[in-house]
Amino acid sequence: MKKRDQLEPQPTEPVVLSRSEHPLSRKMIDQDTIKVLYRLYRNGFKAYLVGGGVRDLLLGRTPKDFDVGTDATPNQVRKLFRNCFLVGRRFRLAHIRFGPDRLVEVATFRRQADKEELPDCPQERSFASENVFGTPQEDAFRRDFTINALFYDISDFSIVDYVGGLRDLQEKKIRVIGDPMVRFEEDPVRMLRALEFSARLGFEVEASALQAIGKQAHLLAGAAPARLREELMELFRHKVAGPVLRQANETGLLDHLFPDYSVDENSLRLIERIDRRTASGVPVTEAIMLASLYLSKFRDGLKKSPDLDFAGAMHLANALLEPHRAHYHIAHGIRHQAREMLLGIFRFNRGRGRRGEKRFLHHPATPGAFELLQLWSEVSGEEKDMVAAWKDVVPEPGKSKEKQAERPAGSNRSRRRRRRQRPPKKEPTPTK
């Protein structure tokens, strides 16, 4: 492994934009975040808005959240805020809560630890290496990409850039801080994040980083499955799963993201179509993501075995989905939902007029399966006759429940069972 010399802060002065030289205003920042920044500053600590929030505001975008960086330690932050909770065993952070669904994350500036500062025990060394506090400059050089290492200083409203992030914002470049080969070896998920930011922002991944992805793609197989699973869902939530997976396929990342999975063009088009569906306001679920990834292979299996019965189709769906579920520790319930969608495709493939059709049409998974079939037909040009045959009889998602709610009182078919009246008890005849 290469040395980390390039990650150490360089002795150059940072680029500092005064308030008159940039468009970022306090009015653009969430008021809870402003409260946190000012309380830290007024108590003698440095208080910066950091990371993606600064990047997005400079690009004219609305950040999904705001993060704060400070030289106050987590315990010092906790003393300043009664609504503060410290989280993270490996990387200590302060979460300051403003209501049940709103929090501001505060991180203390970190630096790269020297070898003599670390304990001998591997577990303790891992914890200690992430909790060596440093300066804003040292913290900037620990971050992943230059555009994510910009700071907004609440004391004078300036933008502080230690790593060339302002230049890369103007040039629309995704540039790794330090040597890409070293940084990707430290954290292989950064390769996937580089492609994600490229797709989300419309930026180009810098040439040396793109070459490093091709050489280090195999390292992704060793990344924590839970992190990869969350990154995958982020791709779908941000409507960039299609272009990211397409580029991951070109760079070789996809081979290690989905072991034993070969993607075809129609699958990529389907995922891109789901991105457009999500952009229109239709939420995406993990079950839809899973079913869309394996729909093409499932259909290939049906074509190879045209006489497959329902049990065989279920076995085929399980064989495709189970390795993915096991690798990424996905709940069985999500796998079940994805399987029901694939089995819905199997049922559509068998045609109309089959026994149990009415029960199938009322199955909760049927509308979602039909929507997936429609999307597949749009991108592949196949199954248009099948879509036409079922279009008028498959209920729209949520439609049946709405109709149930619209029924007038007393019109439900299932009524409370009336208890049969018991005959009156006979009075016992008096004995003489």
Domain ranges of the chain: 6-170, 172-256, 286-400
For residue range 222-254, what is the model confidence (pLDDT) as tens digits? Answer: 999 999 999 999 999 999 999 999 999 999 999
**Helix, strand, coil % (nearest 5) of the chain?**
55, 10, 35
For residue range 310-349, what is the model confidence (pLDDT) as tens digits? Answer: 999 999 999 999 988 888 889 999 999 999 999 999 999 9
Min mean pLDDT across 23-27, 86-90, 135-139 is at: 86-90
What pLDDT is recorded for position 260? 73
Per the rule left: phi > 0, alpha: psi between -120 and 50, beta: everything else, 236 is alpha
Under CATH, domain 6-170 is a member of which superfamily?
A: Beta Polymerase, domain 2 (3.30.460.10)
A 10 A CB-CB count for 162 gives 25
Separation between Cα atoms, residue 72 and residue 76, nearest integer Å: 6
CATH of 172-256, one of 2.40.110.10, 3.90.25.10, 1.10.110.30, 1.20.120.450: 1.10.110.30
Opening angle at CA 90, ends 86 and 94, nearest 5? 20
What pLDDT is recorded for position 240? 96
In order of 177, 188, 208, 251, 316, the CA distances from 217 in angstroms are 18, 8, 14, 8, 30
Q: pTM value?
A: 0.83
pLDDT at 354 over 50: yes
Q: How confident is the model at residue 405 (pLDDT cuts 50, 70, 90)?
A: very low
**Does residue 5 carry a catalytic annotation?**
no
Average pLDDT rounded to a whole number, residues 83-89: 90
For residue range 103-132, what is the model confidence (pLDDT) as tens digits? Answer: 999 999 998 766 555 555 555 545 455 668
**Does residue 101 carry a catalytic annotation?**
no
Average pLDDT rounded to a whole number, residues 263-280: 93
pLDDT at 138 over 70: yes
Min mean pLDDT across 25-29, 55-59, 331-335, 418-422 is at: 418-422
Q: Of 391 and 415, which is predicted with more confidence?
A: 391
Average pLDDT rounded to a whole number, residues 174-189: 95
Q: How confident is the model at residue 101 (pLDDT cuts 50, 70, 90)?
A: confident
Same CATH fold, 172-256 and 6-170? no
pLDDT at 289 over 50: yes
pLDDT at 404 over 50: no
What pLDDT is recorded for position 119? 54
Separation between Cα atoms, residue 204 and residue 188, nearest integer Å: 19
By the 8 A CB rule, do 9 and 137 touch? yes
The one catalytic residue among 67, 161, 168, 179: 67
On average, the pLDDT of the chain sits at 87
Tokens encoding 234: 């982020």
What element of type H or E holds 254?
Answer: helix 254-257
Give burial (CB, 10 Å; 0-12/13-18/19+) of 232: buried
The one catalytic residue among 56, 71, 144, 255: 144
